[in-house]
Amino acid sequence: MGEPERIWTEEQALSDDVGKKDLIKFLQDHASKEFLADHKLLGSAKNVAKTSKKENLVEAYTQMFDTKAFKDAAQDKEFDDMTAKAKELKMSEKPKEEEEEAAAEAPKYTKQTLKKGDGKNFPSKGDLVSCWYKGMLEDGTVFDTNISDGSKKKKATPLKFKVGTGRVIRGWDEGLMTMTKGEKAKLIIEPDWAYGRKGLEKKIPPHATLTFEVELENIE
């Protein structure tokens, strides 16, 4: 999709002639999914309008053109794939009281460095990290990986997510923030910081200790 026509000036967009739903619909029709996600504009226009301020929508409208963050089918598919993969690694949310208690408990993972990183660049909470990984059960069964074995036709891509924000299991969030760019490590994660008593569908049994080999490729 090419660059859309800028149908309103900033002044017109701020006027009463243009409603919040008009701006949201235009942005959802023309902006990339990553841009929409960053500006919390995904979902029904009605629901987005309830939580969005008009000035913020106009700012997003202007920024979309300034940064050329337009809809692109290939990039949107990549975004969907990364979002789906991150959801697979996300653990069930805990009540606030449990989260506060967990903050004070001892780490429930161990880390073994397999390859040293640059020793300087550590990811901070909210940084976008890119990782290669392989997840294994206690018997060595690989239940998930994004590392190509050479026989797959699909091109392998690193998993990208904002670290320390609960997008993945806690053992990943905590472990990755101790690694530096380029480092490869083995994270052995206890059930409480993995998928707990429920497990994950048919992939991971309840109360499973998991081992991940993770390489921190990049930090943004």
User: Active-site positions?
Assistant: 133, 143-144, 169, 195, 212
- CA 159/CA 81 separation, integer angstroms: 9
- Where residue 126 falls (left for φ over 0; alpha for ψ -120 to 50; beta otherwise) is left
For residue 80, report the phi and psi dihedrals to the nearest 5 degrees. -60, -40
Q: Residue 150 corresponds to which tokens in the numbers above?
A: 């050479």
The residue type found at 216 is L
- CA 136/CA 208 separation, integer angstroms: 10
Determine contact, residues 172/212, Cβ cutoff 8 Å. yes
